[in-house]
Chain A
Amino acid sequence: MSLTKPAINKQAIVSQLLPFSCVDGPGSRLVLFLQGCNYQCKNCHNPHTIGLCDGCGDCIATCPDKALTLIKANNKHQIHWDKDRCSQCDTCLAVCPQQANPKVTRYTVEEILAIIHHQRHFINGITVSGGEASLQLPFIIELFKAIKASPQLSQLTCMLDTNGSLSLTGWHKLLPFLDGAMVDLKAWQKETHRYITGRDNHAVFKSIELLAQQQKLYEVRLLHIPGITDFEQGIDALSCYLLRLGANTRVKLNAFHHHGVVDEALTWPSCTQTDIEALASSLTQRGLTNIVLPSIYL
């Protein structure tokens, strides 16, 4: 993307836009799910949001609705998805060799602003999620900056849902326009983290600490997978760490389940309400006061 291009024309690759969500931050929120992730979590609940389409075209012939076609844009092969023909059968996701998703939409900042404008009275803010949203940081910065600059939208909070892998330099660019972030801490020990995600968790700790220090850490999320994650083994150190961020740090516990999961993780046990409550009570006993439990268990 050329640097001289007006910022408002910056594009994002969006796998889904939800006009209303009540589980992605405070209040009612519009959520943008950006395509592409730099982790390879074994337990990913949306594995088709990890890859980016390389235009190989393998999915085209399998589409029963003929909603996919190969086009050339900027001299590169791209899949064009006809939303109106698509019946959402997800065959294309199943056959994709890249864990990618041909059903993406490219939105400019301006287009997203128009959508937000149309429903601004119904929402408390917007959340950008993924995939890993921070991989499309320039778009997010321009979007949040434009929201904060608009008299009719500036009351909306701008939040980021992230795996915490963004560099400190990246965070410093975003912070002036960010109201808060939800950060996943996928495991306590770096070996466990590497086993689950393919990457270590050094950057995640750095991100969490910076956000807490800047009063922009909305919540730390722990996805509990009994027998796989190591929150229980590291409970003392983990609690100590979270307490150092502030005793009132909001810790959201999520329960692992099999919906959307593929391969090895399907052999892992689902997390029950009892499992979650045990973890919650361990954290509470160690002084954490703001633990949030799942509202439903699958």
Chain B
Amino acid sequence: MLLQDKLMQIVTNPLLSPKQKSNYLALEAEASLPYLPISTEVKAAMNGGVICDMFEGHTPFKPRYVLPDYARYLEQGSEYLELVPAQNLDEALNALTILYHHVPSVTNIPVYLGQLDDILMPFVEGMDADVLYRKLKLFWIMLDRTLPDAFMHVNIGPTDNIVCRTLLRIDAELKQVAPNLTFMYDPAVTPDELLQIAATNICHCSKPHIANYPLHASAFDKRGFGIVSCYNALPLAGGANTLVRLNLKEVALKATSINDFFERVLPYYCSLTFELIEARSAFLHQESHFFDSFLVKEQLIDESRFAPMFGIYGMAEAVNILQALMTNETNTSSQSNKPTGYGHSMDANQLGYRISAALDSIVKSTPVTYGYHGRALLHSQGGISLDKDVTPGVRIPYGTEPNPIAHIQALALHHQYYTAGISDILTIDETVKSNPQAMFQLCKAALELGFREFTANVASNDLMRVTGYMVKRSDIEAFKQCGSRLNTTGLGAEAAQNTGILQRQARVIAHEHSPCVVN
């Protein structure tokens, strides 16, 4: 299609708002520029679907994810924005609202809204609980209505405080798509009763995600970290300059044996991934002038704290493909109905861990020009709406997940390797709504077992998780008729059609023997 035809299609689209049209027009404009100089090998790998630049654009002029130091901002005010330091909660919320509109990201909407309880606690001392509730509720509604993107992420916890508790209460009441919410859990700091409140919220609106605070904190330095967008863990006052992801399924298809995969094919495509990472981050850091921003001058971000994310997906398919190679080698055939394959058989799972360990060692030993301590960060990527026949990250394919306990046990050993985050989604059927203690127990055990992030989707909830973000089931139904106020619903609708996400198996508890209402 000619560029002009594409632009006309966007301009005349009946479902997009003017603002959404502007965004799509800008994307097309950037896409009409020639791609950064890259080798023919990288180009071939991109065209062949082995490496993907996440449609970040041909000439990156803003980082993928930015995590400003909001605490410093509230403390010092901003010369550029002509703001004095915040003196009270109203000023703090107002100042944050202003800065959110100046924090770029791949979505043009901030992906990180801050560790809100930490940064707001200095302003709430002595405040009446009802007053605090009303102010934060208005703030929450404002976020959903003006920055309507489910990638936008608030962090709270691990300490027990009134802002944290009030936000959990408001989030459960409003059940909005935005903002997304991560609750940090630290067994040494967080009371069980507070984790139980968070687990009960999950039963009602599939939020928050529970992050393993000690595990994340030990991966980053004292200045801290944040969880943004689809559970990406990144340095605070920094972020991700780019995310390039490797399709492990396609890599596995190019291998002639398991040894060939580990010794030749995987290292080769990892080196191509790094080449693309280098090219993209070099342009951003050297040509785009992004780091001339007031965010840098006022020390809200620091160029040295940006790292490329080395993403992977299609682990399940890669393992199954490699196992089939092995079966062909030994020429064994079996008529068994025993569940085999990734997520089910011990051998398959072991092979998966071995791949994760190999990726970890490659990423930790490969220097990059613009990285966190000179390195990229490994990330299990949660999928995008265009993915077909390939499972996000290291997840078990939709519809084939085992029971929640076996599910967690099968994936736990991967989590140690994915410093920049990993999103596994546990689908639990709706009967858990009347038994939030069960959710609490699953969550606590998963984190104890080494999960970095616990995310659950309760099957009948209208709010549901698509790859890594939340959409409303009813919005997906309605989107085709009338469009949506929310930027991510379009992605959700596309993902639902392409990836069979609505078929994800809800666990049927005691289906035959104790249909849950009767037992």
What is the CA–CA distance of A292 and B519 in the complex, to the nearest angstrom?
Answer: 13
Check A244 for interface membership: any CB of B closer than 8 A. Answer: no
Is A296 interfacial (CB 8 A cutoff)?
yes
Taking the complex as formed, is A18 at the interface, i.e. its CB lies under 8 A from any CB of chain B? yes
Complex CA gap A119/B444 in Å reads 12
Give the residue name and chain of the B residue nearest to A15 (CB). B513
Q: Which of A17-55 contact B (CB under 8 A)?
A: 18-24, 26-29, 31, 33, 45-46, 49
Inside 8 A of A27's CB, which chain B residues have their CB? 435, 437-438, 440-441
Q: A22-B435, A122-B445, A256-B518 are in contact. List 4 more A-B contacts (CB 8 A).
A: A20-B404, A21-B514, A121-B449, A254-B517
- Most chain B Cβ neighbours within 10 Å, of A22, A65, A255: A22
Please state if A46 and B431 are interface contacts (CB–CB under 8 Å): no
With A19-B405, A124-B441, A297-B517 known as contacts, the answer to whether A46 contacts B512 (CB < 8 A) is yes
Expressed in whole angstroms, the minimum distance between the Cβ of B307 and any Cβ of chain A is: 33
Q: What size tier do the contact residues of chain B reach?
A: 35 or more
Chain B interface: which of A83-91, A139-147, A278-286? A83-91
B518: chain A residues within 8 A (beta carbon): 45, 223, 254-257
Cα separation A62 to B470 with both chains bound (whole Å): 47
**B81 contacts A by Cβ under 8 Å:** no
Chain B, 382-434, CB within 8 A of any chain A CB: 403-406, 408-409, 428, 430-434
Residues of B that sit less than 8 Å from A by CB: 335-338, 403-406, 408-409, 428, 430-435, 437-442, 444-446, 448-449, 460, 507, 509-510, 512-519
Query: Once the chains bind, are B512 and A121 in contact (CB under 8 Å)?
Result: no
Are B441 and A23 in touch, CB under 8 angstroms?
A: no
Q: Closest residue to A131 on the B side, CB-wise?
A: B513
Q: Which residues of A contact B439 (CB under 8 A)?
A: 22
A11 contacts the other chain (CB 8 A): no
- Interface residues of A, count at CB 8 A: 45
Q: Which 10 A-B pairs have the closest CB atoms?
A: A22-B438, A28-B438, A121-B445, A84-B338, A27-B437, A294-B517, A122-B445, A23-B516, A22-B435, A28-B441
Given contacts A27-B435, A256-B518, contact A19 B406 (CB under 8 A): yes
Residues of the A chain whose Cβ atoms lie less than 8 Å from the Cβ of B338? 83-84
B406 CB to nearest A CB, Å: 6
Q: Determine the residue in chain A with the shortest Cβ distance to B404.
A: A20
* Given A85-B335, A122-B445, A19:B403 Cβ within 8 A: yes
When distances are taken between beta carbons in the complex, the residues of chain A under 8 Å from B516 are 23, 294-296
A residues near B (Cβ < 8 Å) are 15-16, 18-24, 26-29, 31, 33, 45-46, 49, 65, 83-87, 119, 121-124, 129, 161, 221, 223, 254-257, 259-260, 292, 294-298
- Show 29 A/B contacts (Cβ-Cβ < 8 Å), sorted by A: A16-B513, A19-B406, A21-B510, A22-B435, A23-B514, A23-B516, A24-B519, A26-B435, A28-B437, A28-B438, A28-B441, A33-B514, A83-B338, A85-B337, A86-B337, A121-B448, A122-B404, A122-B442, A122-B445, A123-B441, A124-B437, A254-B518, A257-B515, A257-B518, A260-B515, A294-B517, A295-B434, A296-B517, A298-B517
Most buried by B among A24, A161, A223, A257: A24
A90 — nearest CB in chain B belongs to which residue? Answer: B512
Residues in A neighbouring B438, C-beta threshold 8 A = 20, 22, 27-29, 124
Residues of B within 8 A of A15 (CB): 513
A231 to chain B: closest CB distance in Å? 15
**Are B405 and A254 in contact, CB atoms less than 8 angstroms apart?**
no
Residues of chain B contacted by A26 (CB below 8 angstroms): 435, 437
With A121-B448, A122-B445: A255-B517 Cβ-Cβ less than 8 Å: yes
- A151 vs B290: C-alpha distance when bound (angstroms): 59
What residues of chain B lie closer than 8 Å to A16, measured between beta carbons?
510, 512-513
The answer to whether B430 and A296 touch across the interface, beta carbons within 8 angstroms, is yes
Question: Which residues from A are CB-within-8-Å of B433?
Answer: 295
Q: Which residues of B contact A85 (CB under 8 A)?
A: 335-337
Whether B337 lies near A18 (C-beta < 8 A) is no
Are B405 and A20 neighbours in the complex by a CB distance under 8 Å? yes
CA distance A2 to B405 in the complex (A): 36
- Pick the contact of B512: A29, A123, A260 (CB < 8 A): A260
Which residues of the partner chain A approach B409 to less than 8 Å between Cβ atoms?
119
A106 to chain B, nearest CB (A): 17
| A84 with B510: CB separation less than 8 A | no
List of A residues within 8 angstroms of B437 by Cβ: 26-28, 124
A103 to B182, CA, bound (A): 44
**Cβ contact within 8 Å between A24 and B445:** no
Closest chain-B Cβ to A119's Cβ sits at a distance in Å of 5
- From B335, B406, B460, B509, A22 is in contact (CB under 8 Å) with B509
Q: Whose C-beta in chain A lies nearest to the C-beta of B516?
A: A23
With both chains docked as a complex, state the minimum distance between the C-beta of A5 and any C-beta of chain B, in angstroms: 28
Minimum CB distance partner of A254 in chain B: B518
- Inside 8 A of A257's CB, which chain B residues have their CB? 515, 517-518
Q: Across the two chains, which residue of chain B brings its CB closest to A121?
A: B445
B335: chain A residues at CB < 8 Å are: 85
